[in-house]
């Protein structure tokens, strides 16, 4: 699933899809953590997954606010539109 998210991240140009592929990657990494925790019978995997969840929530909120700003300025959701560094 991580590689699927990575492919999606690299291929799509729409920023929304890039963020969605990022979510898939985060979820896949969390899944690996929970599997590891379940294998050793320790709650640490689930705890790390809770932290990943909190981090993903914060990242999604800030990322979507940035997407709104980009859409407001460039009038498009193309990730290549924001390729200039000049403010």
Partner 1 sequence: MDAIFYISAAVAILATFLMLTRMNAVHALLYLVVSLLAVALVFYTLGAPFVAVLEVIIYAGAIMVLFVFVVMMLNLGRQASLQECEWQRPGMWVGPAILAAILIAEVATVMMRGHTRIPEAAVVGPQAVSLSLFGPYLIGVELASMLLLGGLVGAYHLGRRTKEKRESQNNVVIGADAARSAPGGDLVHAGSDRTAGSA
Give the position of tokens 């800030």: 62
Residues in region 27-56 near partner 1 by CB under 8 A: 27, 31, 34-35, 37-39, 41-47, 49-51, 53-56
How far is it, in rounded angstroms, from Cα 53 to Cα 79?
Answer: 25
How far is it, in rounded angstroms, from Cα 17 to Cα 28?
Answer: 16
Q: Does 24 bind partner 1 (CB under 8 A)?
A: yes
How far is it, in rounded angstroms, from Cα 28 to Cα 31?
Answer: 5
Find the shortest distance in angstroms from Cβ 85 to partner 1: 19
Give the position of tokens 């980009």: 70
> Which positions lie near partner 1, rule CB under 8 A?
1, 3-8, 10-14, 16-17, 19-21, 23-24, 27, 31, 34-35, 37-39, 41-47, 49-51, 53-62, 64-69, 71-72, 77-78
């Amino acid at each position: 699933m991580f590689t699927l998210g990575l492919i999606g991240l690299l291929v799509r140009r729409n920023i929304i899809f890039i963020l969605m592929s990022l979510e898939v990657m985060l979820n896949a990494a969390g899944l690996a953590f929970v599997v590891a925790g379940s294998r050793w019978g320790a709650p640490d995997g689930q705890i790390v997954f809770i932290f990943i969840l909190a981090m993903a929530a914060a990242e999604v909120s800030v990322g979507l606010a940035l997407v709104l700003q980009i859409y407001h300025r460039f009038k498009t959701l193309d990730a290549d539109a924001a390729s200039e560094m000049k403010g």
